[in-house]
Chains A and B, each alone.
Chain A
Amino acid sequence: MARDDQSTDPLEPRGHARAVLEARAIRAATLPPDRRNYLCDAAQPDPSRLYAGAGSVAETLRHLEPVAEHLVDDAWKVDALPGSMPAGYTFLAQLVAHDVAAHTFGPDETYRPDDARGHGLTLDSIFGPLSSARAMPKLYRFRLSASDPGRPVAVDLTWTGNTVDAHDARNGDTPFLSQLSALFVRYFDLAASALSEEFPEQRARLLARCLTAEVYLDIIEHDLLARLLHPAVLAMVRANGWRLVDLAAEREGFAIPVEFTNAAFRFGHAMVRSTYWLNDRSPVMPLGDLIGPVPPGLEGIRAGNSNFWRVDWRLFFGDGPQLQMARRIGPDLPPDLERVGKNRAIPGGRKSDLALRDLASSATGRLQSVAALAELLAPHLANRAGCAGWVLWSQAGRRAVMADWLSAQPGQAPDHLKLDPPLSLYLMVESGANGVDQGLGGGRTLGALGSTLVAEVLMPRLRMARNFIAAQPELNRARSIFPPPAGRAPEMWTLIEFLTGLE
């Protein structure tokens, strides 16, 4: 989550960002080397395949402004409806996003060429690249309390001032993400300790990274994706591990499609709640109060009271009675991400700034159009079981879905928003609309195109990581010394319970 209130960029006022986005979009004329367009090996696809919008950046952004408002208006009513996933999966998905891509290409973010994620999903955002000699992150451990026997393990990353001890500073965005990251550090520490009795230090460390990544990969594949993907796409993932379309993607260093970073994997913004219970001995807290490290001056309070800023994972994963649910996936973005820090309006800011930035990243990031993507995918998918009825395959079907959502927007929406919507907008609408046989998500999963793009990027990365791990000598010996949670489903809650049992 970007935070305007901490920006030091003089171009980035704490206000509505249209002018800034416009200026940056015009500067961002070509894709950086670690980005490509989906299914395009060439540096630049045929321009006719790219999103065009209103024809010019300025005009497109002007048309998207009321759309951003519409995405946020009344979105909070969704909070009161049951979501599809426990709230913790919002942050697990955020961790995956940071692990796949070090940055988003577009008007909103700056390209850092030294920080690409090359290997796939091996928790580089926490530990750094497998080849790096970076010191492992150190843990802050919440004291166990006799008042809460059997409570899930609670650890956090450590901080130096405002800098979190993780390779990617974004993993310190909220206590949820930093404490979730810390669970994997805890697993690594235990594995490294067990392996150090038999292996030299560097070898033990690499093998412990591999064992930790294996657990993470299992959770992504069998837990996160099982909840996130449209049933027809999930069935194909389970049938053959998704070896369908972009076969070239399974190659180390192969660039991530901008259609994924700037659109498909932004669904998590819709899932963020406005308020959270960290644990049942804390009051409900607004999201704006839960940014970054423990507030300065309060570290001592946390040291003395293990309930202070401790995330109790029973409220975020599993199926316990106090479980909080994420918001539904769809065209509703909570205003709180930008708006309600410390109970005060941001001077000059608008509640829809984040929504506009997401739309702008999609509209100005040189993404292919929805129609072009549908055309690319149809030969591979349209005749497969469960896919024939997808609205994705016809312009009339896509237009009807967009028109239905836009009809609730005040004023007349320009035609290009129905015929050629920004990819991120189409994916949100596709997720929120009802009709599973038509490839729509009903608020519970991504829709057909969103699921396909996610599977297309994550499944090759999963296999690359698994192949790298499987090629490690002595891996089986390491597994026998520190076996994964045995005999249970590879879910996030299983990892939490496993770590708790080792305390």
Chain B
Amino acid sequence: MTEVIMTVAHQRPVGAFLTAVAHLPEADRPKTVEGLMTAFAGYLNAYFLDPNKRIDPKMPAPMLTPKVAATKGEAAAAFVPATQGDTSAAAIGTWMVHPYIEVGNIRRDAAIDLVQHKPERVAIRLPTAGLLEQAEKDARLLSIAGDTDKFVGPNYYYDYFRNSPGMSTMEYLWSRIADYTTSSCR
């Protein structure tokens, strides 16, 4: 079976959104990928894509309310089935809020687990087998070659540590949150 692939192209708004999700009571958090994507699209429309309502990138991420989650605008959540025209709930395809985030090779009605550590239960997301195998092989090759050529990190690291004016410490934190909650091993 093809492995699930989650790709985040814009860590900053995704991280702000996931920060807001983390602040919600567990019962209020999305239960499906569709719900998560729809809420993210609303969050983008409310806080990132409306030029008249810009967020302050030095302040904590704004709250996710039902009204915010339903905000209409340019961003939209969509499911694109791998087989054109497949409208079934079990269709395999990609959920996305383009071009910020997409989750491929999943069912249209896929559920989602949003987990945090608890005293009685700790959560660790293990890497998927195929990607892990490839990453280990690559890391081995880089090590044998002397570790001079390296994996390349996401842009926000470089933006933050070279004091780019477009990356506040708060935005760096959001980016880190998006990265460590969604990235695959490497």
Contact = CB atoms under 8 A, between A and B. Distances in A.
Given A279-B152, A283-B155, A287-B99, 8 more contacts: A147-B144, A148-B141, A274-B98, A274-B99, A283-B153, A285-B9, A286-B10, A295-B162
Contact of B154 (A283, A304, A305, A306): A283
Contact of B141 (A147, A287, A340, A347): A147
Contact of A305 (B98, B150, B164, B166): B150
B9 A286 contact: yes
Secondary structure of the B contact surface, majority rule: loop
B40 to A, nearest CB: 13
Contacts, number: 100
- Number of contact residues on B: which range applies? 35 or more
Given A145-B149, A147-B149, A297-B162, A284 B80 contact: no
Contacts of B51: 345, 347-349
Interface stretch (A74-82, A399-407, A431-439, A484-492): A74-82
Interface in B84-114: 84, 93-94, 96, 98-99
Nearest to B98: A76
A234 B153 CA distance: 44
Contact of A340 (B7, B78, B99): B99
B151 A80 contact: no
A284 B49 contact: no
A80 B102 CA distance: 10
26 contacts: A74-B76, A74-B78, A76-B96, A76-B99, A77-B78, A80-B93, A81-B84, A145-B148, A147-B145, A274-B9, A274-B99, A281-B138, A281-B149, A283-B154, A286-B9, A286-B10, A287-B99, A295-B164, A298-B162, A301-B158, A307-B152, A340-B10, A340-B99, A343-B48, A344-B48, A345-B50
Interface residues of A, number: 45
Secondary structure of the A contact surface, majority rule: loop
A351 B84 CA distance: 26
B146 interface: yes
Interface of B: 7, 9-13, 48-51, 74, 76, 78, 80, 84, 93-94, 96, 98-99, 138, 141-142, 144-146, 148-155, 158-159, 162, 164, 166
